[in-house]
A and B are shown apart, each in its own frame.
Chain A
Amino acid sequence: MNMTPPLADSGKPYLQIVDVVKQFGEHTAVNGVNLTIGKNEIFALLGSSGCGKSTLLRMLAGMETPTSGRILLDGQDVTRLPPYERPINMMFQSYALFPHMTVEQNIAFGLRQDKLSKADINERVARMLELVQMSKYARRKPFQLSGGQQQRVALARSLAKRPKLLLLDEPLGALDKKLRQQTQLELVNMIEQVGVTCIMVTHDQEEAMTMASRVGIMSEGQLLQVASPSEIYERPNCRFTAEFIGETNLFSGQVAVDEADHVQIDSAELRRPIYVGHGITGTLGMPVWVSLRPERVGLSRSAPAGDCNHDQGTVHDIAYLGGFSIYHIQLASGKIVKASVPATRWRDEPAPTWGESVHLSWADNDAVVLTL
């Protein structure tokens, strides 16, 4: 679903977050986060509520001061700068448009603080209004605008000062679902048009995957994995990420064969071992978990060949979703495995039905071994 091309500049560090810790009394909200972000990158911090992502964002904005650690932006240490001295602007979740000012005045607010000339302010406000296609509404008050329009004004206001870093706090959280999907790519286009480095915080994985070039998964104040959306999905580095992003089947087992080019894992939940076509850093017999995405699981009526990567079970439940269906297959061990099967799979034979016995199988590189 990621349509953002990789950015040329993203190799060079632009924003550096170094060992940042934030404690509120006894509670540690952010626990030793290290993160480097390239220029013009759109980065998403993804996590459930209370994972510390908003606190991290507020530390970048300057609303909170880290207990320890440093934040460097374009070579400048901004860790202890007050918000009004940082070249960083934020779009708030509630948009925080000033209700007593018009759209124009809202966008001009930041520019006025910089003591720009009136002509400059007017010109920049006009350009921002054009960017977000709100020129017609320049003289309206925020309460006269729809949610989507308010969001665009909020974006224009946070871009008007040409910040070095743009922060988006749940940018589409206040919009309804239909509008959200349409706005996601629009928002990315506008941000790329301006060419600004951007960090967004969201709990919506679809939003993060669609908009960002890289995603950071946060849980309990720690950054668990930072990677491109496809890598996060295909190669999660821990159980949390595997289960948090999309759906997956997790099997627990031990390493039975550990070679340089393959490993084999025995799981009590499966009758045959799991074969993975690459080596892992681990030792023989160590407990591991295997993540297998539902769309990697194939169903058939005849038994597949080979000694690995297949099993037999009965159809326990079927969720028909049109283009594809989710089959819940109960194995002999009692474990239920989800298989996402496209409707086109059943062109030549009837689809399996409730209670039917089926074989499930997957390819050598479909499973991901997780040691954490």
Chain B
Amino acid sequence: MHSTSSMSWFGRLSLGGGLAFLYLPIVVLVVYSFNASKLVSVWAGFSLGWYQTLFDDEAVMAAFGLSLKVAVLASAMSVVLGTLAGLVMARFGPFRGKSLFAGMLTAPMVMPEVITGLSMLLLFVSMQQWLGFPEERGVLTIWVGHVTLCTAYVTVVIRSRLVEMDRSLEEAAMDLGARPLKIFFVITLPLILPAIASGFLLSFTLSLDDLVMTAFLSGPGSTTLPQLIFSRVRLGLNPEINALGTLTVLVVAVLVISANRIMLRQEKRRAALAAAS
């Protein structure tokens, strides 16, 4: 693409139209979060009042805390499992059942969440009947569900990074006397760290806004933020939700942008490395 000045009117129109289509709803959401009126669609002057209401709302704060907790725990676990799975896929040569394993890894990505959520719910219910565990649905069950989903994404990220990484680096470390486990921690891990970081952020955002699976796996005492927003909206719109939405957009934007920057910086570095050699 050339600079904007050399773009035809059609190009500009389609770009503007596309951007408006994508971001206008969010702009409206953000603008009305500063509305003084109680009605969502009538502008009555600027106010930060709804943010005040939001922070005073204990149910929202509790849901936000729970979402954050689940997101951090699920991302941490997904990163560990995803790294192991990515390592197995990229480094452990061919083994029996490798393609089955690869399929199972990506299944949660393509499987409708309704199905995954429902099947997990059924599993947990029968487990409770037969084993008495888990006693009730809550943080633990939501966490398990989110980990299943996020691990699939992390695996893809880590695996592709490992595949493009020069294998002779690990061989050189082995040649110089390092044992496999040490090589993983001293060579492989530092080199895939950016991929792990972006995998973590990806999981975090996925977990933070998951509604469908969470709906199946949460119990009476555990309501995540997306669930809360959804139920509030059904009761009637209120600029407090707009304020909450605005903050969510802010958090997600920060995470996505930082994930992008990490990857971009890594890309540049690799390009420099390639140019130098």
Contacts and interface: CB of A to CB of B under 8 A. Distances in A.
Interface of A: 61-63, 82-85, 88-90, 92-96, 98-100, 109-110, 113-114, 142-147, 150, 157-158, 161, 174
Interface residues of B, number: 21
Of the listed residues A61, A92, A145, the one surrounded by the most CB atoms of chain B closer than 10 A to its CB is: A92
A147 B272 CA distance: 13
Contacts of B187: 98
A96 B174 contact: no
Given A94-B166, A94-B168, A100-B191, A161 B177 contact: yes
Interface of B: 166, 168-169, 171-179, 182, 187, 190-191, 269, 272-273, 276-277
Contacts of B173: 98, 109
Nearest to A149: B276
A63 B191 CA distance: 21
A113 B176 contact: yes
Contact of B179 (A84, A144, A161): A84
B171 A84 contact: no
A146 B174 CA distance: 25
Given A96-B166, A100-B191, A147-B276, A89 B269 contact: no
Contact of A63 (B171, B179, B273): B171
Contacts of A89: 175-176
B162 to A, nearest CB: 15
A92 B273 contact: no
23 contacts: A63-B171, A84-B177, A84-B179, A85-B177, A88-B175, A89-B176, A92-B171, A94-B166, A96-B168, A96-B171, A96-B172, A98-B169, A99-B191, A99-B269, A100-B190, A109-B173, A110-B176, A113-B176, A113-B178, A143-B269, A157-B176, A158-B175, A174-B277
Contacts of B190: 100
Nearest to B172: A96
Contacts of B169: 96, 98-99
Nearest to B169: A96
Closest 10 CB pairs of A and B: A113-B177, A110-B176, A96-B172, A143-B273, A96-B168, A83-B174, A92-B168, A84-B177, A100-B190, A143-B276
Of the listed residues A62, A85, A100, A147, the one surrounded by the most CB atoms of chain B closer than 10 A to its CB is: A100
Contacts of A63: 171, 174-175
B166 A114 contact: no
